[in-house]
Structures are given as structure tokens and as C-alpha cells.
Chains A and B, each alone.
Chain A
Amino acid sequence: MAETSLAARGVHKSFPGVKALADVAIALRPGAIHALLGENGAGKSTLIKIITGVHQPDEGELTLDGRPMRFSGPRDAIAAGIGAVHQERNLIPRFSVGENIGLERLGGGRFGGVDYAALNAEARKWLDVLELDLDPRTPVSELNVAKRQLVEIAKALSLRSRVLLLDEPTASLTPQESQVLFGLLRKLAAEGASLLFVSHKLEEVQEICDEVTVLRDGRNACPSRPMAGLDRQALVRLMIGRNEQIPNWPPRSVEGQPTLLELSGVATALGHSGINLKLRKGEIVGLYGLVGAGRTELAKCILGWRRITAGELRIDGKPRRIGSVAEAIHDFAIGYVSEDRKQEGLILDHSVLENAGIAVWRKLAGRLGFLRDETVRARVGPIIAELEVRTPSLSQTLGHLSGGNQQKVSVAKWLAAQVRILMVDEPSVGIDIKTKAYIHELLRRLADEGAGVLLITSDMPEMITLADRIVVMDDFRIKGEIANSRQYGPMSEAIMAHIHHAAA
């Protein structure tokens, strides 16, 4: 079966301030399981949204069996035979399996009721295809995550989907459940469906996918091609690339500097265990891992957002219990630049001044508890200017700024708060190259001036540029630690080795 089922060619898509996809192409074959790979910000989710009809491409075309397609919304894509099983569940929790599967075709007319017997019988057909031994009358809310996902697949099949897109399908499955799923996917492929498998778990992708397309920075890192001949190293290399110049910065030493932050044997409410981490004054420690490794979660636990359940956390050598985010920020001078800039990092409806000053309002207030805008401006203004944030004024609504400038404000907030420990999470996602370089210099300068920086990024060049030491994380545990020689080749090999050992 060599013909193409779903294909996209020359796809371009821009959003305000950032170009998400540039000249991207992908081609699926019937009977093949096709992997779509790419790190955060590579453009995977934008491509998925275009395929499922949520967005329309600015340029380029989508074809199905050679016929050009234009989807004005998700239902057009569904009608064309493209089924999707997303990360969030698209099921009605209190409805039965049968009713969820048959929701589009409830029938019933004005006075006749819904024929549940027929509905369940129809559902039964599709459950059988998937070899799911479920009573269609079971409410979906009583099923575990694995079964709910299978119900969604059954639903997609019942809508005569010939292209099935699965977005991180094994995210919440046990290894056994994943194997059951894979068996099913192979069966569906054998029957002629085209499957698009989106995942960051490389071992799985290698196990089950016949073909692959890798995206990086909004472009194809490789065209759609068979998996044969690509080992894990090659895949990761495609995903993370090495098109950046590592700046030739003088080496730094943090010997003899006091330890700002230390974690010993720390376990958290979010699932970490045995975490040992040290951050010295003036040091940049990188926390590397692929998506899902638990790095963001660790940062948030350090920040006091969720509890540390075992082990010890020391600040400046003294053991501390951080009970709340406010305590971490105001009492211990810890800051966190969130990876989710728009939802968690910034208040887009508020002005630049309000966003940049939020962490210091309490500190800047005068004796009577009053705080004038001028006072905030005096503290925050110079920082905004120094960071070269392009904004008409400090009263500009933050949502109107470009992504890069928004990120600068996000960092400015912590500079204004004079944090001593700054955790930075995926700082360059969706940011233009120039701002990215600027932020790198900024972080380095911050460390030079005595702060400790914990850098979380899945961008390998960024990591090797900035970090003095790189800690590799996977599956909510620390897998290894390497000092940074700043030689890209050897470093990336060494880091990969740690990741692969983890995955093995």
C-alpha cells in the first residue's frame, strides 16, 4: 500500500509575534503507523490543529487521497474521515460508553425515545473490533484512563475515520495498557487505516512506528520517511538539532562559593523521589530531560506550590520548610519563570508596569501602606529599559506585546524582586532568535552577579551554552549529572547516554 492518504505540503502558519510553521510537509500512508516528533515549541501542536481543522493554514495545502481539503472547523475534518484522540478527554463523563460512541447519531425523533438497545448494539460492534470486553451501558466515569481512551478510539472508528491521530496516547497508561494499545494500533493499521502517533516517548515510537516526521523550530527536521535506519540517537539529534552557535564565553568556576539551595533525598507530592540537587552562588545548573520528565513539577515544589513529602530542603545551608509560594518568593527570594507564559507567568490583561512590579508591591509600600505608581516605576522602569523591552509605554497592556517582549517582562519581574535563586523554565519557547540570545546573556550576567540559576530546558544548544553543570532527569528522578565542557558534540552524546540509560 504505497499511496498517500493524508498529506500536507508547504504549510505556513503564523500567530501574532511568532511564526509557528514554515514550509512544513507530512505524508501518511494507509497501513502505516506514522510518528510525529518534536520538542516543545517545534510546531507539533499547531500542525495537529491544522490537520484536525481547528486552525487554517496561511499557505500550503492539505490533501486526502490526493484531493485537496479545506476544513473550516473540526467537524469538517471529522466528516472527512480524520479522527483524533487528544490528550484531554472528549467524552461526556456521566454518559455510558454506548452513548458516547453514538452521540452523533442519537436518533429518537420528536416523540420516540432514544433506542438504547440499538445504540448499545452498534457500540458493541466497535468495541469488538478493539477486542474491548466492556458493557456499553457502563458510564464512562467508571472507567480508568486506559479504557476511556479506547472508547474514544472506538468512537473515532465508528465515525469511519480512515486517519486516526493519537496525541500522547500513553501519557497516563501503564506499560501493560500501552502494550494492549499497541496491539490494537497494529491491527487497525493492518486493516488499512493511517495512524498518526504523536509522542515524546522515543522508546515507544521506535517500537511501534513504521514512519516518522520530525519537526524542529517550526520546520521539518526531516521529511516524512521510514523509521528504518534511525536509531534513538539519530532521532534525538533530529529533534534537538545543532544549528546554534555556542558563544565562546570565558569559562567560569564556582569553586568555594556558598550553596544557595540544596535538596537531599527529596520526595514530593507530585511523585518525585530521591532528588539530590545543589545550586551554588553564581552557578547555572541545567535540568535536562525530555517532556514529561518531571522538571517543571520539581521547580514548582521548590517554589512551595506543592508539598515536599520527604527529605530535606536547605536554603543557605539552613533546613527550611516552604509552606507557600508567597513564602518562597518574599521570604527566601526564590523566583520562577514559568514555562506557560500566557497562563501562569503573566497577566496578559494587565499592563507592563503591573506585571513587572507584582512581586515587589509589598516590599515597596511606604510606612502608611501606600504605594504610588511612581515608586514602582522607579524600581521597574530601569530594568524594563535595560532589557530593551519594546513597548510604547509601561502602561501598555501586556497582551499586546510580542512573545519575546512578554518573556522579557516575565524575567524583569524577578529582577525587580532581586531574587537570589531563579528557576527558569523553557525560556525560549516561541521566542525569536534575537531575544533568545539576549535572554541567554541576561541569565549569565545574573549568575555572574551572584544569583543561582536553575535552568530547565529541552533545548540542547541552550543548555550547553548556559549551564555550568547539567543534571539529567527522567521519570521524576535524577538520572545523572555532568560538568559542562561546552564542547557540543561530546556533551550532547553524554547527555543522550544518560537519557537512554534511563529509557532502557
Chain B
Amino acid sequence: MKTPKFMRADWFGPFAIVVVASVGITIFDRPFLSPFNIQILLLATAVNVVVAMSQMIIIAIGQMNLAIGAIGGLAAVCFAGLMQVWSFPPALAAVAALAIGAAAGLANGAIIARTGVSAFIVTLASLSIFKGADLGITRAQPFYGIPASVKAFGNATMFGPIPWLALPAALVIAFMWRLLYRQRIGRYILAVGGNASAAELSGVSIAQTTLWAHGLSGFLAALAGVMLVGRLQIGQPSIGDDWLILSFAAPVIGGAVLAGGHVSVFGTLFGVIIVAIITQALVIFQIDPYFVQVVLGLLILWTVGVNRLRELRLAGG
């Protein structure tokens, strides 16, 4: 019997793992699927999903963005700082922070497109530039003056265990899905990642597509930073320091091909959830939390190896 189509989709594997893992853990630890725990999971997932999407869009075009943590951190402290120091209303501060993130991303994209220098080096350099600015503005001290409304948005629930923070995350997921599967610019991003020379022959501007991808990536990184300020309830300059591994792990688990041209929005979402579950499970079973890093790294190695085998088999066809 041939596997039904939906089971062969990228998201199905991670989805199955989420289900199996949840059931498995609940057997050992009843409160795992309690409303309280689900809320914790969703809060963690909400921000991480946006982080993962920020990297995923760059993976789609066949590049890498080392600076998403730095952009997110910079946007976060700008958001907090504007509210605390200049008494900006939260909405305005958020818009400004998002604009900063988009601008940072566009700068990266512009340099990559114009000079042909590899994305690795450009984003490594900009990582330092933005991180330094982040630390410089704050002198490594967090901003504590976060308005109550922001704190509430970052932690309160809409209904049941679903936090408000899930709303922007859900919007981002919907937006990315539509962008990559229905919008022309999204298709161009995937085309350039899939076969840049063929795309160029068909009139796709690699430079413009690069700009769009990096601009969006910066915007999403900034959004994640802003959301995190709400959740943590302080404007922490260290926001973003630990985003790098996760930003690659989730899309890769979700079936992304690092060479570009193929990513899965829902696969990435379930990848994020898997990581959240693993982290939670390690805490519940009182396994050393440092082990998370090891598991994440091994997970990346495993899935990248599997994805590559799949790509090789496809290319032979």
C-alpha cells in the first residue's frame, strides 16, 4: 500500500513525534498535559516559532543568517528603552523596534546582494555590530520599566490556557504560509534557493529577492525580541544570545533543505514544539538541563543526515 499523500508531507513526521512524545510523557507524568503546563509550552513555543521563521526564510533562499539573535536583542532593548526612557506608548515603540529590525535585515541583504560576499561573513560581521550596539545602548543593564500592558500581553491568557502571545505567533505562521506558497515574492525566494541560475534565466532578480528575504528575516527577529520583552517583563540585552541553534534546529527538523529551495512552515512549527517538549521533559525527569544543548545538536545532525539522503534520492530521479 502506498503511503497516503499527507503522511509523506514534511510536517507529518514531526507532528507524529509531538503526539507520541506527549502521550509518552503523560504516561510517566500526569500533569504534563495539564492546562498550566500547556500554557508554559505555548509561551515558550510562541516566541521560538517567530525566531525559527526568521531563519527559515533565509534557509529558503539558500543562505544563513547568523545575526538574528543580535537583531532580536537590539530590537528588544530599543523597544524597552523607548518606552522607559522616552515614554513612548507601547504600540509606537513596537513599531519602531520592528522598523529597526527590518532595516537591519535590509542592510544585510543589500551588502550580500551588491558585493557578492557570502551571507556567512556578512551576517557574522553584522552580528557583532548589532550585538555591540545592543550592549552599548544598555551598558549591559536591562531596562526594567516595562508598562503593565506589555507585561500582561506577554503572560496573560486569552481563553483557557492559550496565551495572548500565541496570537502574533499564529499570525506569523499564517503570513509565512501564505507568503511562501501563494505570494510571488515568496515563490521567488524558494526559486532562488532551489536553482538560482534557472530562476535568473526566468527573470527573477536575485538581488531584489535577497533584499526581501533578509528584510523579512530582520523584521521577524525584531518581533520575537519584542514578544520576549513582554514575556520576560524586562528589556534584557542578552535576548537573542541563545537563538542560533534553535533557529536552525526547528526548520531542519521540519524538513528544510539547507541548500535552499525547500522549507516547511508547519514542519518548522512542530519542530519548535518538539524542542519545547524536550526541554520540558528534561526538567520533569530531572535530567540535567545542560543536556538540552547536546540533544539539540544531535537532533540537528540526525535530521540533516536524513534530509540529505532524501535529497540525494530525489535528485537521482
Is there any pair of Cβ atoms, one from A and one from B, under 8 angstroms apart in the complex? Answer: yes
In this assembly, does A95 line the interface, its C-beta being within 8 Å of a C-beta of chain B? yes
CA distance A106 to B182 in the complex (A): 10
In this assembly, does A179 line the interface, its C-beta being within 8 Å of a C-beta of chain B? no
B184 touches A93 (CB 8 A): no
In this assembly, does B117 line the interface, its C-beta being within 8 Å of a C-beta of chain A? no
Query: A52-74: contact bitstring with B at CB < 8 Å (1 yes, 0 no)?
Result: 00000000000000000000001
In this assembly, does A99 line the interface, its C-beta being within 8 Å of a C-beta of chain B? yes
- Contact residues in A for B296 (Cβ distance below 8 Å): none
- Contact residues in B for A92 (Cβ distance below 8 Å): 190-191, 194-195, 198-199, 261
A106 touches B261 (CB 8 A): no
CA distance A78 to B191 in the complex (A): 19
A103 touches B199 (CB 8 A): yes
B184 touches A107 (CB 8 A): yes
- Contact residues in A for B261 (Cβ distance below 8 Å): 92-94
In this assembly, does B85 line the interface, its C-beta being within 8 Å of a C-beta of chain A? no
B317 to chain A, nearest CB (A): 6
B314 touches A114 (CB 8 A): no
**Which one of B32-40, B130-138, B201-209, B274-282 is at the interface?**
B201-209
The residues in A between 109 and 129 inclusive whose CB is less than 8 angstroms from any CB of B are 109, 113-114
B315 to chain A, nearest CB (A): 8
**Who on chain B is nearest to A155 by CB?**
B202
A114 touches B183 (CB 8 A): yes
CA distance A273 to B314 in the complex (A): 27
A146 to chain B, nearest CB (A): 11
- Contact residues in B for A95 (Cβ distance below 8 Å): 187, 190-191, 194
Q: Which residue in B178, B182, B314 is a CB contact (below 8 Å) of A93?
A: B314
In this assembly, does A75 line the interface, its C-beta being within 8 Å of a C-beta of chain B? yes
- Contact residues in A for B197 (Cβ distance below 8 Å): 90
B317 touches A141 (CB 8 A): yes
In this assembly, does A104 line the interface, its C-beta being within 8 Å of a C-beta of chain B? yes
Give the secondary structure class of A's interface. loop
In this assembly, does B214 line the interface, its C-beta being within 8 Å of a C-beta of chain A? no
In this assembly, does A143 line the interface, its C-beta being within 8 Å of a C-beta of chain B? yes
Give the secondary structure class of B's interface. helix
CA distance A114 to B190 in the complex (A): 14
| Contact A143 B198, CB 8 Å, known A94-B261, A114-B184 | no
In this assembly, does B262 line the interface, its C-beta being within 8 Å of a C-beta of chain A? yes
B194 touches A93 (CB 8 A): yes
The residues in B between 31 and 58 inclusive whose CB is less than 8 angstroms from any CB of A are none
CA distance A144 to B201 in the complex (A): 22
CA distance A95 to B190 in the complex (A): 9
The residues in B between 248 and 291 inclusive whose CB is less than 8 angstroms from any CB of A are 261-262
A94 touches B201 (CB 8 A): no
Query: A290-328: contact bitstring with B at CB < 8 Å (1 yes, 0 no)?
Result: 000000000000000000000000000000000000000
B11 to chain A, nearest CB (A): 15
Query: B294-310: contact bitstring with A at CB < 8 Å (1 yes, 0 no)?
Result: 00000000000000000
Query: A140-157: contact bitstring with B at CB < 8 Å (1 yes, 0 no)?
Result: 011110000000000000
- Contact residues in A for B204 (Cβ distance below 8 Å): 103
| Contact A108 B184, CB 8 Å, known A93-B261, A94-B190 | yes
**Who on chain B is nearest to A52 by CB?**
B201
B203 touches A75 (CB 8 A): yes
B263 to chain A, nearest CB (A): 10
Of listed A94, A107, A141, A142, residue having the most chain B CB within 10 A: A94
CA distance A141 to B312 in the complex (A): 11
- Contact residues in A for B188 (Cβ distance below 8 Å): 106
CA distance A81 to B238 in the complex (A): 57
Q: Which residue in B182, B183, B190, B314 is a CB contact (below 8 Å) of A141?
A: B314
In this assembly, does A24 line the interface, its C-beta being within 8 Å of a C-beta of chain B? no
- Contact residues in B for A74 (Cβ distance below 8 Å): 201
**Who on chain A is nearest to B204 by CB?**
A103
- Contact residues in B for A103 (Cβ distance below 8 Å): 191, 199, 202-204
B89 to chain A, nearest CB (A): 28
- Contact residues in B for A144 (Cβ distance below 8 Å): 317
Query: A70-93: contact bitstring with B at CB < 8 Å (1 yes, 0 no)?
Result: 000011001000000000011111
B183 touches A113 (CB 8 A): yes
**Who on chain B is nearest to A109 by CB?**
B184
Query: B170-200: contact bitstring with A at CB < 8 Å (1 yes, 0 no)?
Result: 0000000010001110011011001101110
A242 to chain B, nearest CB (A): 40
- Contact residues in A for B187 (Cβ distance below 8 Å): 95, 99, 106, 114
A75 touches B182 (CB 8 A): no
Query: B202-226: contact bitstring with A at CB < 8 Å (1 yes, 0 no)?
Result: 1110000000000000000000000
CA distance A109 to B187 in the complex (A): 12
- Contact residues in A for B195 (Cβ distance below 8 Å): 89-93
**Who on chain B is nearest to A108 by CB?**
B184
**Who on chain B is nearest to A91 by CB?**
B198
CA distance A122 to B215 in the complex (A): 33
CA distance A104 to B188 in the complex (A): 10
- Contact residues in B for A91 (Cβ distance below 8 Å): 195, 198
CA distance A463 to B202 in the complex (A): 44
Q: Which residue in A93, A104, A107, A108 is a CB contact (below 8 Å) of B203?
A: A104
B193 to chain A, nearest CB (A): 9
- Contact residues in A for B182 (Cβ distance below 8 Å): 108, 113-114
CA distance A278 to B197 in the complex (A): 45
Query: A165-198: contact bitstring with B at CB < 8 Å (1 yes, 0 no)?
Result: 0000000000000000000000000000000000
B residues whose Cβ falls under 8 Å from a Cβ of A: 178, 182-184, 187-188, 190-191, 194-195, 197-199, 201-204, 261-262, 314-315, 317
A residues whose Cβ falls under 8 Å from a Cβ of B: 74-75, 78, 89-95, 99, 103-104, 106-109, 113-114, 141-144
- In addition to A93-B315, A95-B190, A141-B317, 19 A-B residue pairs with Cβ atoms within 8 Å of each other are A74-B201, A75-B203, A78-B201, A90-B197, A90-B201, A91-B195, A91-B198, A93-B261, A94-B194, A95-B191, A103-B191, A103-B204, A104-B202, A104-B203, A106-B184, A106-B188, A108-B182, A113-B182, A141-B315
> Would you list 13 pairs from A and B whose C-beta atoms are within 8 A, ordered by A residue?
A75-B203, A90-B201, A91-B195, A92-B191, A93-B315, A94-B194, A94-B261, A94-B262, A95-B191, A103-B202, A104-B203, A113-B182, A141-B315
Listed from nearest, the 8 A-B pairs whose CB atoms lie closest are: A113-B182, A108-B184, A90-B198, A103-B202, A92-B194, A106-B184, A104-B203, A94-B262
